[in-house]
Amino acid sequence: MAPFRPGSASSSPLLEIVVPAYNEERRISEGLLRLCAKLAGMPFPSAVVVVDNNSTDATAEIVRARPPSVVPVTLTQCQVPGKGAAVRTGLLRTRAPLVGFCDADMATDLDTIDVAVGLLLCGERVVVGSRAHPFSEVDNRHSRVRELGAAVFRRLARVIVPGVSDTQCGFKFFDGPLVREVATGLRTPGFTFDVELLARCAERDAVLREIPVRWRDMPGSRFSPARHSAGILLELGRIWLALRHEARAAARPLREHPLDPVGSP
């Protein structure tokens, strides 16, 4: 990454943040207000990319109708349903050297962006907000059923991404070129995409650096244990199989082509 010089004339963003949003008319306005206020106070240019999935409510109109601000907010539509597909679309739209994503409800305290950007500028490539970090402060009002499901999910996810104790916090920051390269090959459309994203970053020898967050459960979650649990388990299984298949294929020695002359290099 080219070194960043504070005060340099360039207005191209150093940091771009992707916000997936589906039927978020109740939360997106305040969420973007808080995010833009935070970014406007940082000593470098930044931008926000909201990715909608053809919401059936006023989400898109609310984003389009925002008055111009110091921090530009653009709206992109993703035709493939799901948070994973939306985040992938957003990541591929970015150009900045540093890239992150966070949820429309801004459940993670935005001051954590300072920590994430600081670490990236010091050379970290993947910074993962983690509610399981011993120094995190988590105000969790999830139901017992969701808590139990989350515990099972964490155990299974750890098989695919060892060393990360919370893959699902919607607050992750990356070296831009790395995450764009990884996003190109992402296949998981739903909520489990974080697991594939982190596993593919780790495949490229990136250290996954978990940081503590202050996280507050916000009302209006789109996640329903009853509706989404089976799909999530299926997605986890698919990710595990795909990664295992790819690792085996990569380890297999290249067979000589039958038309190559014997002994040719």
Ligand X SMILES: Nc1nc2c(ncn2[C@@H]2O[C@H](COP(=O)(O)OP(=O)(O)O)[C@@H](O)[C@H]2O)c(=O)[nH]1
What is the contact surface with ligand X in residues (CB under 6 A)? Answer: 20-22, 24, 51-53, 78, 81-83, 86, 103-105, 107, 170, 221-223
Nearer to ligand X, 145 or 241 (CB): 145
Q: Look at residue 98 and give the partner it binds from Mg ion, ligand X, none, a contact being a CB closer than 5 to 8 Å depending on partner kind.
A: none
CB of 23 or CB of 46, closer to ligand X: 23
Nearer to Mg ion, 103 or 175 (CB): 103
Which positions lie near Mg ion, rule CB under 5 A? Answer: 103, 105, 107, 221
* Distance in Å, CB of 13 to ligand X, minimum: 20
Instruction: Name which of Mg ion, ligand X, none residue 196 binds, using a CB cut-off of 5 to 8 Å depending on partner kind.
Output: none
* CB-nearest residue to Mg ion: 105
264 Cβ contact partners less than 8 Å away, ≥ 6 residues apart: none
Nearest distance, CB of residue 256 and Mg ion, angstroms: 53
d(CA 108, CA 151): 20
